[in-house]
Structure 1
Amino acid sequence: MDLILTGLPVRDAVRTSILSKKWRYKWVSIPDIYFEEDCLMKDESKPDHVNDVDQVLSHHVGPICKFSCLCYVPTGSHFDRWIDILSMNGIKKLILEMMLFEEYYDVSPSVFNCQQLCHLELIYCILEVPPTFKGFHNLSVLVLTEVSISAEAIAFLISKCPLLETLKLLTKTCPAFHIHAPNLRYLELDGDFHFLSIGSCPHLTNMSLDYWFRLGYSGYTYLEGSDFLQFIECSLAIERLALRGTVLEFLCDGSIPKKLSATYDHLKCLEFEIRVNSDEILVILCILRSAPNLEELKIRYFTVAKTRFDLSEEYGEFWGAVTQFDCLLSHLRTVEIFGLAMLLDLEFIGCILSNAPVLETMKVYTNENVKNEDVPRLLDELMHFQRASTAEIKYMGHCYI
């Protein structure tokens, strides 16, 4: 019974009290409390559901292991009250999407009293770390989405989480980022950073970088492409690397080495978003030359112009005539191509096919704007490329990104 109640949203769990006298008070001791997003909506026609959270927490008996609440509230005092209660009930997993009316919630300092936290996820808020903070000594997962936090605060917070394994920082308000987390295994960054550096993270195996910027825009970014490469090069144990947004374009802002300064023997999976741009191809070649054991490759073609959906060759010289593909992909087994739209895109794909002797499968998704009558020509060109293996090429239809 307890297992069933734990798997239900809290409203449904409370409703079970009318089904049986034995069940009447079962819900008051469930350790996991989840308020669904539609439970507390920003809708004046609905009653004030904030009281529902108050009632559940005030009647609860025993420890609260997990608490998740995604809602709108009129004032931050509601969240303050809930966090105070949770901090005294041994909370281990806390997820709060804190939407006030027209502003971010300034997180109560009481959250730092939740010493048993293993998982903390905050969305849409302001977070200030008190200088007296002693640390989250059990925290292994930290997710900050659209959280306003200073560079000093995030560095201090991370330094006080010795068991941190997963870090997701998705924000546009943290201009600088330095990380020193000896146990970190997964890192996801999405923002407009002026400065990036990485200290000792010997166990970091999975990294995703999603970065948006405008070159030449004064005051917008002070980070150079070479700095970004150095940031990647500090993660020698990396097994999965994803480069999204305008990361590749950014890396082209400066000299591009033929290879990285070290060989990434552990890198098994590489994912990137790319424009039809020879400079961006050079960055990819640089990484491929430095990853001899790559097994999985995911390519997402980044579309910004209508000309991209044209099948003619007049929009640019084939990148293969500009650069030389000299990467032997000896261990590559699977490739996924998303957003294929131009014949120009095929040259890189052809080079992969001719240099991957153990390739098993290549899945191809065309851009949603490609006309159905143009698809056969794209596929026909693709099928005519020389292959170093008996790889199966599968057309999966349009992708909608």
Structure 2
Amino acid sequence: MMPSPVQGKHPRTTPLSPAIPDGTDHLSSLPVEMTEEILRRLSLDDAVRTSALAKPWRYRWAECPGFKLVFVAEDPPAAVDAVLAGYACNVSYAQLDVAPESNGKVDGWIRALAAKGIRCLVLCFTLVLSMRWLPVPASLFSCRELTSLLLKSCEIPALRSSSDGFPNLLALELDDVNFWENGQKTFEALIARSPLLRSLRIMFPSINGEDDGGNYSEWTIRAPNLRILSMGAWQDCGWRLDDLPLIEEACIHLEGNELPRILPALTRVENLSVEITGDTILERLSYFMNLKCLSFHTIFTKSSTLLSMFCILRNAPNVEGLHITVLHENEESIEVNMELPNAQGTVGLFSRLNHFCLKGIMGHTNELQFIKFLMSKATVLEEIEIYVHDDSPMSIEVVSDELSQYKKASLQAGIIVNRYVDYNNIDETDDDEEP
């Protein structure tokens, strides 16, 4: 699996501090290799402070290859300038947490990193509620050696037609970013000009000029070497996927209407996570022959979501692990009678399933019917995990008794029933209550 750009993020949370006033001479005899290994294990501010330990250590950090440059928002801009100017090696990893008052310095910092062959860059902007997204300088596109890039809470500039993009980029992560008007074309071009891209994560983007009424411009992600894909959005951004011949893993958490455009390109995945909440019913999908692990986040009280879930299950004959998290709408949902597939449509369904996990059930008829149906079909099932929602009117004991009465196609299948607490929906007023 390709690493996310944020993996290996340095834990430093305090600003750069001045050098310590005293030193010890006995440190001067350490071999260069040992000195560099010590420096690489230190945070940035501690590494800079080693200049005061002894004369041979003075500016040794600046000549230590592979050092991670991590700057927090509280760092004085002058200190960042000094470190970037003083570091003499190529930069393998840099993280810039940018405070609003330092926005004017970002262009110079990126240019300095580009000159040092920056390979992995994490660029996060601190937003103030009254401010818009801060723009990333166009100098970002001069970082041609980048192999990993994470951008968070910022605005993506337009890509010039003469730009080559990122020819060496392997991993790209965009979190809460905004594209200028018609920016989806910028993103389309950016991906197309990153021919080696293997991992792409884009979460909750927005595009100037688009609205919530479905008036979007369609655009296509073309990444023939992509292996890992994560997509999440609050609205339909108009995206499509070109064929992804090497795709192995995908996490698609969208509103639902985009799924008919997205899923056909993912039929080669081995691991798939899908959120199904919209009213669009999936049908006529291709087979997911490589799919081994399948996860759903869905609503069990809507017929459209249940039918879409069965559509994927019918077309995934080799699934061995099935994990479902039940989502609950704020308003009280009207329970529907689940339309189970007819006998003809269930041939081979769950034939290789050995592990099933269902989280967050309330004890609704649809949830229990689905469990009963699955248990009656899965002939090699070994383990069933059921997590009863903390707000469910049914106790764990009642659910356990109910499940024990269901016929099991696999006699060796063990059933585990536990409590499930949805921490995302805990009311803030409960913070002071006793556990």
Report the 3-state secondary structure (helix = DSSP H, G, I; strand = E; otherwise coil) of the residue aligned with 2:395: helix
Following the alignment from structure 1 to structure 2, what is the Cα–Cα distance between the partners of residues 298 and 105?
39
2:382 alignment partner, one of 360, 364, 369: 360
2:267 alignment partner, one of 228, 232, 236: 236
Following the alignment from structure 1 to structure 2, what is the Cα–Cα distance between the partners of residues 336 and 16?
52
- Whether 2:67 is the aligned partner of 1:32: answer yes
- Whether 2:245 is the aligned partner of 1:202: answer yes
Deviation at 1:18, TM superposition (A): 4.5
Alignment map for 1:274-353 (pairs within 5 Å): 274-276=298-300, 277-305=302-330, 316-319=335-338, 326=346, 328-344=349-365, 345-353=367-375
Following the alignment from structure 1 to structure 2, what is the Cα–Cα distance between the partners of residues 323 and 72?
59
Deviation at 1:182, TM superposition (A): 0.9
Following the alignment from structure 2 to structure 1, what is the Cα–Cα distance between the partners of residues 42 and 124?
19
**Which amino acid counterpart does residue 49 of structure 1 have in structure 2?**
P
- Matched pairs, number: 367
What do you get for the CA RMSD once the two structures are aligned? 2.5
Q: Which runs of 5 or more structure 1 residues have no equivalent in the other structure?
A: 42-47, 214-224, 309-314
Following the alignment from structure 2 to structure 1, what is the Cα–Cα distance between the partners of residues 50 and 407?
64
Instruction: Tell me if structure 2 keeps the 8 A contact 1:125–1:148.
Output: yes
Report the 3-state secondary structure (helix = DSSP H, G, I; strand = E; otherwise coil) of the residue aligned with 1:76: helix
TM-score normalized with structure 2 length: 0.77
Following the alignment from structure 1 to structure 2, what is the Cα–Cα distance between the partners of residues 346 and 209?
26
Deviation at 1:293, TM superposition (A): 0.4
Report the 3-state secondary structure (helix = DSSP H, G, I; strand = E; otherwise coil) of the residue aligned with 2:96: strand
**Which amino acid counterpart does residue 153 of structure 1 have in structure 2?**
T
Instruction: Tell me if structure 1 keeps the 8 A contact 2:77–2:102.
Output: no
Instruction: Tell me if structure 1 keeps the 8 A contact 2:396–2:419.
Output: no
Report the 3-state secondary structure (helix = DSSP H, G, I; strand = E; otherwise coil) of the residue aligned with 1:68: strand
From the superposition, tell whether residues 8 and 381 of structure 1 become closer, same or farther in structure 2 (CA, over 3 Å).
farther
User: 1:133 matched to which residue of 2?
Assistant: 163
Following the alignment from structure 1 to structure 2, what is the Cα–Cα distance between the partners of residues 356 and 80?
58
From the superposition, tell whether residues 133 and 15 of structure 1 become closer, same or farther in structure 2 (CA, over 3 Å).
same
Deviation at 1:323, TM superposition (A): 7.1
User: 1:98 matched to which residue of 2?
Assistant: 125
CA deviations 1:338-375 (Å, max 9, x no partner) are 2122242121122122211112222222223236x722
Instruction: Tell me if structure 1 keeps the 8 A contact 2:303–2:336.
Output: no
- Whether 2:88 is the aligned partner of 1:88: answer no
Which has the greater radius of gyration? Answer: 2
Instruction: Tell me if structure 2 keeps the 8 A contact 1:75–1:100.
Output: no
CA deviations 1:33-55 (Å, max 9, x no partner) are 3436xx425xxxxxx63333222
From the superposition, tell whether residues 113 and 194 of structure 1 become closer, same or farther in structure 2 (CA, over 3 Å).
closer
Question: 287-296 or 173-182: which moved more?
Answer: 173-182
Alignment map for 1:368-379 (pairs within 5 Å): 368-370=390-392, 374-379=395-400
User: 2:15 matched to which residue of 1?
Assistant: none
Deviation at 1:321, TM superposition (A): 6.7
From the superposition, tell whether residues 306 and 155 of structure 1 become closer, same or farther in structure 2 (CA, over 3 Å).
closer
**Which amino acid counterpart does residue 168 of structure 2 have in structure 1?**
N
Deviation at 1:91, TM superposition (A): 0.4
Following the alignment from structure 1 to structure 2, what is the Cα–Cα distance between the partners of residues 336 and 288?
15
Following the alignment from structure 1 to structure 2, what is the Cα–Cα distance between the partners of residues 121 and 205?
21
Report the 3-state secondary structure (helix = DSSP H, G, I; strand = E; otherwise coil) of the residue aligned with 2:83: helix
User: 1:146 matched to which residue of 2?
Assistant: 176
CA deviations 1:202-254 (Å, max 9, x no partner) are 111212211137xxxxxxxxxxx4x632431233312222112xx342433xx
Report the 3-state secondary structure (helix = DSSP H, G, I; strand = E; otherwise coil) of the residue aligned with 1:336: strand
From the superposition, tell whether residues 15 and 266 of structure 1 become closer, same or farther in structure 2 (CA, over 3 Å).
same
Instruction: Tell me if structure 1 keeps the 8 A contact 2:120–2:146.
Output: yes
Report the 3-state secondary structure (helix = DSSP H, G, I; strand = E; otherwise coil) of the residue aligned with 1:348: helix
Report the 3-state secondary structure (helix = DSSP H, G, I; strand = E; otherwise coil) of the residue aligned with 1:249: coil
- Whether 2:22 is the aligned partner of 1:2: answer no
Instruction: Tell me if structure 1 keeps the 8 A contact 2:396–2:417.
Output: no
Instruction: Tell me if structure 1 keeps the 8 A contact 2:92–2:120.
Output: yes
Question: 60-69 or 50-59: which moved more?
Answer: 50-59
User: 2:230 matched to which residue of 1?
Assistant: 188
User: 1:110 matched to which residue of 2?
Assistant: 139
User: 2:415 matched to which residue of 1?
Assistant: 393
Following the alignment from structure 1 to structure 2, what is the Cα–Cα distance between the partners of residues 21 and 342?
71
Following the alignment from structure 1 to structure 2, what is the Cα–Cα distance between the partners of residues 349 and 21?
71
Following the alignment from structure 1 to structure 2, what is the Cα–Cα distance between the partners of residues 190 and 23?
48
Following the alignment from structure 2 to structure 1, what is the Cα–Cα distance between the partners of residues 219 and 194?
16
**Which amino acid counterpart does residue 264 of structure 2 have in structure 1?**
E
1:173 alignment partner, one of 201, 206, 213: 206
Q: Which runs of 5 or more structure 2 residues have no equivalent in the other structure?
A: 1-34, 208-215, 425-435
Report the 3-state secondary structure (helix = DSSP H, G, I; strand = E; otherwise coil) of the residue aligned with 2:359: strand
Deviation at 1:140, TM superposition (A): 0.6
1:53 alignment partner, one of 77, 80, 83: 80
**Which amino acid counterpart does residue 185 of structure 1 have in structure 2?**
R
**Identity value in percent:** 27
Following the alignment from structure 2 to structure 1, what is the Cα–Cα distance between the partners of residues 340 and 91?
62
Instruction: Tell me if structure 2 keeps the 8 A contact 1:11–1:35.
Output: no
